[in-house]
Amino acid sequence: MKTISLAFIILLVSFTSFSQSLKRFNGQFYHGVDLLPSGNASYTYYIDTLTGEEVKQGSFKYVYRGENAFLGFNQTITGTFDKGLKTGLWTFLTTSTDVGSENPYTTGTETLIANYKDGHANGNWKYIQNTKTRRKMSNSGGNKWSAYSIPAIASISMNFNMDTLVGLCSLDHSSIKYKVSGSFDKHGFCTGTWIINDRKNNNNKTLQYKDRFLYDCVTKNNSGKIDEALNVPERKDDYKTLISLKSMSQKQKDESEYRIDTANYSEPHSAIEPYIEDLFKNDQCYYQAIGGDLTFLYGVVYGRELRVVAKNP
């Protein structure tokens, strides 16, 4: 009983000492993006005794409310730090009401809901965009607004396990008629059925993965007609070779003229790569200035697949 009490006292003293060492920042926060004005941030931090650097700890909030040339442009970023690393739920919200310096002017919202663990993307990330534009026209009676454009609507849902894309992945950018859906295994390899619909470019694909290998791919135009020129029948022969290689002894593998290779790029990788960039290189998320984001620094693992290649092509 005395041992338990002593341990509790030591823990309590350590916590109290740590709490007392926390400092609070509340003021203008320079985010490093020259084209956007800086808002205000509020957070707590402590000074690392070894490096002398500021380490964020606890809740973080950044707010900007537009004025002058940025009237109607508002941002709110909230989340939590643990020992300088982002953890748990983070929300990035941007709202616009007729924002712009010249035609067209933008109205709408962009929201990113992200989950972290020890500074790494971990859990579901969801991005939603719903924006529209209109033009301001001058005439003898003053300014007049045009009708709004067709809304630009986009949604992305991705699941992470410590920077690796896993499970279901979906992307729907209706304004450019682009839609992707599929899934990854726990190591970021493509698995199951992937559908990549690029109706703007008259190119729609259904990809079938078996054992992390692209077993089949059917490409159709918007009318549903199969494009025979883009189908590659030897994939199924390569799959047979893959299964054979997997069953071989190491000696047999060494003697075989083929080997199994891991490719870090694939059709699904190419299809979602620009949108990964939107999430992790988004200037309005201020990743570098806010800090604590290791995924931003090191990148994401996704879209891998197995291939059969000749040892001496």
Question: What single string gives the DSSP state of each residue in 208-252?
Answer: EEETTEEEEEEEE-TTS-B-GGG--THHHHHHHHHHHHHHS-HHH
One-letter amino acid at 158 equals M
- Give the number of domains in the chain: 1
- Rounded distance between C-alpha atoms, residue 115 and residue 300, angstroms: 14
Residue 71 clears pLDDT 90, i.e. is over it? yes
69, part of any domain: yes
The band of 5, judged by pLDDT with boundaries at 50, 70 and 90, is: low
224, part of any domain: yes
Write the Ramachandran bin of 244: left for phi over 0, alpha for psi from -120 to 50, otherwise beta: alpha
Instruction: Quickly count: other Cβ atoms within 10 Å of residue 135's Cβ.
Output: 15
16, part of any domain: no
Note down the domain range covering 195.
21-310
pLDDT tens digits, 73-120: 999 999 999 999 999 999 999 999 999 888 999 999 999 999 999 999
pLDDT tens digits, 159-214: 999 999 999 999 999 888 999 999 999 999 999 999 999 999 988 999 999 999 99
Buried-state track 220-245, b at ≥16 Cβ within 10 A, e below 16: beeeeeeeeeeeeeebeebbebbeeb
Among candidates 32, 54, 116, which has minimal Cα distance to 289? Answer: 32
145, part of any domain: yes
3, part of any domain: no
Whether the CA torsion 115, 121, 123, 126 is positive or negative: it is: positive
pLDDT tens digits, 216-227: 998 988 888 887
6, part of any domain: no
13, part of any domain: no
- Rounded distance between C-alpha atoms, residue 179 and residue 197, angstroms: 5
Residue 12 clears pLDDT 50, i.e. is over it? no
| The predicted structure's pLDDT at residue 142 | 74
73, part of any domain: yes
The band of 16, judged by pLDDT with boundaries at 50, 70 and 90, is: very low
φ, ψ of residue 72 to 5 degrees: the values are 100, -10
Give the three-state DSSP class for 312: coil
- pTM given for the model: 0.86
One-letter amino acid at 107 equals T
- The alpha-helical segments, DSSP class H, found in the chain are 2-21, 234-247, 250-255, 267-280, 287-290, 294-298
Cβ–Cβ < 8 Å for 100, 71 = no
Q: Which residue has the tokens 């494009």?
A: 227
168 beta partners:
183
Residue % of the chain over a pLDDT of 70: 90
Residue 15 clears pLDDT 70, i.e. is over it? no
What stretch of H or E contains 79?
Answer: strand 73-82
| The predicted structure's pLDDT at residue 232 | 63
Name the average pLDDT for the chain. Answer: 89
